[in-house]
Structure formats: C-alpha cells, structure tokens
Amino acid sequence: MGELIHIGSVMREQTKKTVSLTSSSLDRTCPICGKQVQPVEVELPWKTMMVPGRCECEKEEARKQEELEERRQKRIRIERLFNISMLGPRFAECTFDNWKYRPGSEKVYEACVDYVKNWHTRRKTGEGLIMYGNPGNGKSHLGAAITNSLLARENTVIFANVPNLLLRIQATFDSKKETQSEIMNALQLADLLILDDAGAEKWSSWVETTLYSIINSRYIARLPVIITSNLGISELKDAVGYRTFDRLIETCPIIENTASSYRVEIASQRAKKIKKTTKGA
C-alpha cells in the first residue's frame, strides 16, 4: 500500500512539473486592452491542468454579447407577431422632427422627447406615460415617434391600436395561424408597449379582463406601458376598469394634450380653399 501511495505521489509531482513546464506557453495577450493574461489552474478529477485565462474586459465583452444575443432572439420572437408594419404607412413616418406644433401641445411633446432621452431610466423603473385629450391633436403621432426612436436603438416596442388588438386576440379563438397565448406573451415581453386609443373599444367583461391581464403582467415585470386616449381621466378609468387603471396611475405620469384637432384644422382649411375656388370660378 505504501508503494502505491509513493507511486501516486510521484505521478502527481510529475503532472505538476509537466504543467509548470507548459503553462508559460499558455500566456496570451488580451486582444481588447493588450494586457498580458496568465493561464489559470483547473482542477480535474484525475489531474490539475492549466488553461488559457481570460481578461476581465474579455469576460465583460462576452457577457455583453450574450445579452445582445438574448435581446436579438427576443426581438425575433416578438416581431414574428408584431413588427413595425403595425404602425401603418402614416405612423411609420412619424418622428419628433416632423411633429406639427400647435398651442396646447407643448407639455406633452416635451414629456415624450424627455421619455426617449431618459429611456434607460424609464426602462429600469418601468415608468410609462398616459396622454389624453381631444381626438386628432397628435397623441398617436407622439406615441409613434417614441416607437420609431426606440426601435432605431434596437429596443423591442409594440405600438398597437387597442380596439384592433382586442379584435386580433378574439380572432385567435378560431385561428390556427396564431394563438392568444403567443400574442399575450409578446405583449408581456416587449421592452415598451404603447396602447393607442385606449377606451375606444366597446366594453365587456372579457375586454376588461384581457386589458387587466396585459397591464398587470407588465406591472409585475416592471415593464413600461404608454397609453393614449381621447377620453378624460374619469372616463378612461371606467373604460379600462378600476384594477387596470390603478396599476397605470401608479407607474404612469398623466399629461393632458389641450391642443385642438389637427384633422379638424385641415378640414377647415380645405373647406375654405374649396369655397375660395368655387367663388372665383
């Protein structure tokens, strides 16, 4: 038995010598910072061996790449159901630069610009936004501008008209192309969810329950939601339900857009132009 122990000790010593003789060949230079990186010792069941080490900046870079890949895969899953085409031709071109200023829209415009500017903080805290006011005064434009700005920065953003979204979810009941769970999962995973024209949907217990499920899942995950609505605050609360509204007001500053309807202004200008043309004919 003593001889066996002696032989084992000799083998271990020989392994250490072999490792020490070859470890210098494993020295390497970090390709990122240029620092010399020493090999590291790895304990295996049958021996100790040296392997090339990694610099801290290499580890950090690997972590960032893994995170980017996870985000890329998440974006692919979400965009399979919701992509930028959901904005439609009109809203796909909406930016802060082509925003048409009108009196009464200053605060909501500044709030939206600030939201994008400080997106990293908003994403971390789960803070959203509620924009409400008369129809046609630019709330959807601003929501789309936020969407386009954040999509350009590789974030996953869903911009969805609430009545159309609910109809789409209902359509899955008789569909083999997509399921309700797939849609709900995408709504729950996106970095930002913008629900446009909330309160325009016809109320039902199913509508209230579905909206609550969407908002609550994001509330639990601390993921932000932006709401646009043509309703007043008390009307919006009645439309979406108390439980849903309660979660929204905890996480979303409320801003009123008091500007007049841009569409009404365009229609008025068109009418004046037609009247002038007819009068001159």
Name all domains of the chain by residue range, CATH numbers in brackets: 90-260 (3.40.50.300)
Question: Quick one: average pLDDT of 254-280?
Answer: 77
Least confident segment among 85-94, 111-120, 157-166: 85-94
Share of the chain above pLDDT 90, in %: 54
Token pair for 263: 């569409």
Higher pLDDT, 142 or 265: 142
| pLDDT of amino acid 281 | 58
| pLDDT of amino acid 14 | 47
pLDDT one-digit tens code per residue, 2-56: 444 444 454 455 444 444 445 556 778 888 787 887 787 778 888 787 777 777 7
| pLDDT of amino acid 25 | 67
Question: Quick one: average pLDDT of 184-197?
Answer: 94
Please choose, from the candidates 203, 201, 198, 210, the residue with its C-alpha nearest in 3D space to the C-alpha of residue 173. 210
Predicted confidence band of residue 272 (pLDDT cuts 50, 70, 90):
low
Strands (E), the chain: 28-29, 36-37, 40-43, 48-51, 129-133, 157-161, 192-196, 225-229, 254-257
Longest distance between any two alpha carbons in the chain, whole Å? 120
Share of the chain above pLDDT 70, in %: 84
Spatial separation of the C-alpha atoms in residues 210 and 219, rounded to whole Å = 14
pTM here is 0.73
Cα 149 to chain centroid distance, Å, stands at 12
**What single-letter amino acid sits at 203?**
W
Spatial separation of the C-alpha atoms in residues 54 and 58, rounded to whole Å = 6
Burial 157-189 (b: 16+ CB within 10 A, else e): bbbbbbbebbebbeebeeeeeeeeeebbebbbb
Residues 50, 52, 57, 59: is their CA dihedral positive or negative?
A: negative
| pLDDT of amino acid 279 | 66
DSSP state of 172: G
Predicted confidence band of residue 204 (pLDDT cuts 50, 70, 90):
very high
- Confidence check: pLDDT of 234 > 70: yes
Spatial separation of the C-alpha atoms in residues 60 and 130, rounded to whole Å = 37
